[in-house]
Amino acid sequence: MKKKINSKQTKGEIVETTKEPRSIIKYIVYPVIAGVLITVITFLIIGNKNNNNNSDTSEIEEIKKIYVTASVDNSYPPQYSTVLLTVTVKDQNNKAVPGASIEATAHYSSKDTRKTSHTDDYGEAKIPFKIGPATVDFDVIIDVRVRKDRIVKSTKTSFTPVAKKE
Report the pLDDT value the prediction gives residue 71, as an integer from 0 to 100: 97
Report the pLDDT value the prediction gives residue 48, as an integer from 0 to 100: 59
Partners of 71 in beta bridges:
86
Separation of alpha carbons 133 and 164, rounded Å: 9
Question: Residue 135: which residues within 8 A CB-CB, separation 6 or more?
Answer: 108, 109, 110, 161
DSSP 27: I
Q: How far is CA 150 from the centre of its chain?
A: 24
Rounded to a whole number of angstroms, the CA Rg of the chain reads: 36
Instruction: Give the fold, CATH level 3, of 66-159.
Output: Immunoglobulin-like (2.60.40)
Report the pLDDT value the prediction gives residue 51, as an integer from 0 to 100: 53
Report the pLDDT value the prediction gives residue 69, as an integer from 0 to 100: 97
- The tens place of each residue's pLDDT in the chain, 166 residues long, gives 455 555 555 555 555 555 555 666 666 767 777 777 777 777 777 765 555 544 444 455 789 999 999 999 999 999 999 999 999 999 999 999 999 999 999 999 999 999 999 999 999 999 999 999 999 999 999 999 999 999 999 999 999 999 988 7
φ and ψ at residue 24, rounded to 5 degrees = -65, -45
Separation of alpha carbons 107 and 138, rounded Å: 10
DSSP 96: B
Domain regions of the chain by residue span: 2-60, 66-159
Separation of alpha carbons 41 and 51, rounded Å: 15
Report the pLDDT value the prediction gives residue 114, as an integer from 0 to 100: 98
Separation of alpha carbons 77 and 106, rounded Å: 14
Report the pLDDT value the prediction gives residue 18, as an integer from 0 to 100: 54
Separation of alpha carbons 109 and 104, rounded Å: 16
Question: Residue 108: which residues within 8 A CB-CB, separation 6 or more?
Answer: 134, 135, 138, 140
DSSP SS3 for 23? helix
Report the pLDDT value the prediction gives residue 83, as an integer from 0 to 100: 97
